Chains A and B, each alone.
With several copies, the nearest count.
Chain A
């Protein structure tokens, strides 16, 4: 999956550069997050602003990252959700699991 990552102190900001998150690319995304956890990074912000479509596999990859971050006493926060992507979290009640922010800045301040 095409990502742009940036480190701000101990936080990793991951900008997803795909229009679509589905079973075709979310497996790789999970592995890309695992590589970060292996390096000891466990505070992630995922910027979804480029994402127009996410399916249950994409959500599953985010849940996987969330659980791994939490298990390492870190956290995974989301920002930049387009309205239709936001409604996927509501449909699956995952908006009650994730911390969701409007902007990268707000997500960053919350750490």
Chain B
């Protein structure tokens, strides 16, 4: 049986919880059994992609509606980190978000690019009545 840690968190649709989820991501990285890379860097990256994905879910999908909720699932094995962030919005076309669209001094539009740069697989799809952004990072 693979040694898996699974964390499933539901938070109110508020940016004040971003720090909590980021820290939980960092804690998780520090508890990984074997990892030969730089743990501090991996911890920052996990914190970052969680923060970016949840911010989008809160602000774009759930449009800051305080009655909506965000669910986050993280699954960690010695081989892979897998993250799912669920939103209750209209959805968007991930494929259309291309780096070419942006200019260096734009104030926004960096979130998805950052996620793509740091994760090995990223996709966004409908799941029941919600949407889910799925991100996978290989650890070996």
Physical contact A–B (CB less than 8 Å): yes
Residues of chain A having any CB pair with chain B under 8 Å: 20, 22-24, 53, 55-57, 59-61, 63-64, 66-67, 84, 87-88, 91-94, 96-97
Residue contact A84 to B44, C-beta cutoff 8 Å: yes
Give the residue of A20, A23, A87, A97 whose beta carbon is less than 8 angstroms from that of B59.
Answer: A23
Residue contact B110 to A53, C-beta cutoff 8 Å: no
Least Cβ–Cβ distance between A80 and chain B, in angstroms: 17
Give the residue of B16, B41, B105, B110 whose beta carbon is less than 8 angstroms from that of A56.
Answer: B110
Least Cβ–Cβ distance between B139 and chain A, in angstroms: 19
Selected interface stretch from B45-53, B66-74, B128-136: B45-53
**Within 8 Å of chain A (Cβ to Cβ): is B15?**
yes
Cα distance A74–B137 in the bound complex, in angstroms: 42
Count of interface residues, chain B, beta-carbon cutoff 8 Å: 25
B40, B58, B114 pick with most chain A CB within 10 angstroms: B114
Residues facing A in B93-129 (CB within 8 A) are 104-108, 110-111, 113-114, 117
Looking at chain A's contact residues, the main secondary structure is helix
The number of inter-chain residue pairs (CB within 8 angstroms) is: 63
Known: A56-B114, A84-B44, A92-B114. 8 other contacts (CB 8 A): A20-B19, A20-B22, A23-B18, A23-B55, A24-B19, A63-B107, A67-B105, A67-B107
Cα distance A24–B54 in the bound complex, in angstroms: 11
Residue contact B114 to A53, C-beta cutoff 8 Å: no
A53 — nearest CB in chain B belongs to which residue? Answer: B47
Residue contact B59 to A55, C-beta cutoff 8 Å: no
Residue contact A84 to B40, C-beta cutoff 8 Å: yes
Residue contact A63 to B117, C-beta cutoff 8 Å: no
Task: Known contacts A22-B55, A24-B19; decide if A93 and B104 are in contact (CB<8 Å).
Answer: yes
Least Cβ–Cβ distance between A20 and chain B, in angstroms: 6
A20, A53, A61, A67 pick with most chain B CB within 10 angstroms: A53
